[in-house]
Structure formats: structure tokens, C-alpha cells
């Protein structure tokens, strides 16, 4: 015995979400059927609209339903002549929430990973190359993740910048603010020592 066909299909469809197993999918399906059908229909519509209309920003590659995203469409964002390269649209949001950076972004939508067949063209480096040649930017801030792949990607792009005599910088490593020394991993601690500053 299984649930009725439409319910079974809904449960199966929910398992295509990251982190959602069979039990959670069941809970989601019955929760919506019992308590929130209008919310479910809104989710159905939102999924449809986003999948049909969201594409990549022609300038920075982030996700947007416009030809060019809000940040790239803002001319004041070019005044600093800084381009910040990140791995994902979520990274853009994190940086924007600090209000620290006023330049433009380039979103790789991933990182170099030769083992998975992800080379320079898969992460938009052809488009990045064209953008760097536009002469709009003087500094490229490499804000890929401090992982093996993120570091490799940063070094690859730094080389591209060097070839063009463009300044490439990398986000600093160090102690997280509010963190406790006891719980910081050794590598981070080494970076924190090396990058120490006089107070």
C-alpha cells in the first residue's frame, strides 16, 4: 500500500530538495494538505515563475530575471573601479549585508574542479576576461572560499590579473570576531599570527 498517486508524486518531488529525505517529504506533503493549501499553491507558482524566468545577469553571472542585475545596473557601482569575484549569489548577499564594499561583483557560480570537469570556461572566466579588458576595474578582490578549490580558483584568476597588470587581492585570513582562540583551527591561527598588526 502506498499513498494515492498524487500524494506519492508530491512526496517524491519533495525529495528532490537538498536535505529532504522520505520522512521529511511526507511531513511536508501532509502539512501542506492539512494546514496550508494556499501556501502550497504559492510555492507552486513561485517555483514555476522562478524556473521559467530566472537566468544569469549578463554582466556578473548572478541569478536574476532581468537582463542585468540590480547591482550591475547601478552606475555608481563602477566608481570604485573594484571588482569582487565570488563563488555564489549567496556570497554577494553576505558581502552586501556588511555595507563594506561598494564596487561590482563577478559570480563564478562554482569553482575550478578539474576532477568534476569544471574548467575555466564553466565558471565564466571567458566572460571575466572580457570584463577585465573593459578597463573599468583597477582592483580585483578574490573572495572565493578559503577551501582547496577556492584557493586554486583565486590563484588562477590572480594570474589572469597579473598578465593584464591589474591588482589582485585576497580576503584576509584570521581570527573570527568574537571567536575564542581555543576553538580556532591551527591553520587559521597561523594566518592570524602571520598577519598580526601593531595596536
User: Who contacts 125 (Cβ-Cβ below 8 Å, separation ≥6)?
Assistant: 156, 157, 160
Q: Is 37 in the site for a second copy (CB under 8 A)?
A: yes
Q: Is 6 in the site for a second copy (CB under 8 A)?
A: yes
H or E segment to which residue 141 belongs: strand 139-142
Q: Is 75 in the site for a second copy (CB under 8 A)?
A: no
Question: Using CB atoms within 10 A of its CB, is residue 188 exposed (0-12), middle (13-18) or buried (19+)?
Answer: middle
The rounded distance, in Å, linking the Cα atoms of 10 and 157 is 43
Q: Is 83 in the site for Zn ion (CB under 5 A)?
A: no
**With respect to Zn ion, which residue has the nearer C-beta, 72 or 84?**
72
Backbone region of residue 149 per phi and psi (left: phi > 0; alpha: psi in -120 to 50; beta: other values): alpha
Question: Rounded to the nearest whole angstrom, what is the least distance from the CB of residue 19 to a second copy in the complex?
Answer: 7
**With respect to Zn ion, which residue has the nearer C-beta, 127 or 139?**
127
Q: Is 65 in the site for a second copy (CB under 8 A)?
A: yes
Q: Is 72 in the site for Zn ion (CB under 5 A)?
A: yes
Q: Is 41 helix (H, G, I), strand (E, B) or coil?
A: helix
Backbone region of residue 160 per phi and psi (left: phi > 0; alpha: psi in -120 to 50; beta: other values): alpha
59 binds, among a second copy, Zn ion, none (CB under 5 to 8 A by kind): Zn ion
Q: Is 18 in the site for a second copy (CB under 8 A)?
A: yes
Grid coordinates in use for 65?
A: 530575471
Tracing cell 597579473 back to the chain, one arrives at 162
Q: Is 84 in the site for Zn ion (CB under 5 A)?
A: no
Q: Is 30 in the site for a second copy (CB under 8 A)?
A: yes
Site string for a second copy, 119-158 (x = CB under 8 A): ----------------------------------------
Which residues bind to a second copy, rule: CB under 8 A? 1-7, 9-10, 12-14, 16-19, 24, 26-34, 36-37, 39-51, 53-54, 63-66, 69-71, 88-90, 92-93, 96-97, 109
Amino acid at each position: 500500500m502506498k499513498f494515492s498517486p498524487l500524494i506519492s508524486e508530491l512526496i517524491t518531488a519533495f525529495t528532490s530538495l537538498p536535505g529532504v529525505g522520505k520522512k521529511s517529504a511526507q511531513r511536508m506533503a501532509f502539512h501542506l494538505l492539512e494546514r496550508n493549501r494556499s501556501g502550497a499553491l504559492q510555492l507552486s507558482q513561485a517555483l514555476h515563475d522562478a524556473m521559467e524566468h530566472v537566468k544569469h545577469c549578463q554582466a556578473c553571472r548572478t541569478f536574476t530575471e532581468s537582463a542585468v542585475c540590480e547591482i550591475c545596473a547601478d552606475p555608481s557601482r563602477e566608481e570604485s573601479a573594484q571588482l569582487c569575484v565570488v563563488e555564489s549569489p549567496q556570497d554577494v548577499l553576505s558581502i552586501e549585508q556588511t555595507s563594506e564594499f561598494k564596487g561590482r561583483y563577478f559570480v563564478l557560480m562554482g569553482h575550478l574542479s578539474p576532477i568534476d570537469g569544471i574548467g575555466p570556461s564553466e565558471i565564466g572566466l571567458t566572460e571575466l576576461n572580457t570584463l577585465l579588458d573593459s578597463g573599468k576595474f583597477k582592483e580585483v578582490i578574490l573572495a572565493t572560499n578559503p577551501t582547496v578549490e577556492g584557493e586554486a580558483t583565486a590563484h588562477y584568476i590572480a594570474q589572469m590579473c597579473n598578465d593584464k597588470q591589474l591588482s589582485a587581492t585576497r580576503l584576509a585570513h584570521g581570527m573570527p570576531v568574537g571567536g575564542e582562540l581555543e576553538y580556532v583551527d591551527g591553520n587559521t591561527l597561523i594566518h592570524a599570527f602571520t598577519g598580526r598588526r601593531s595596536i
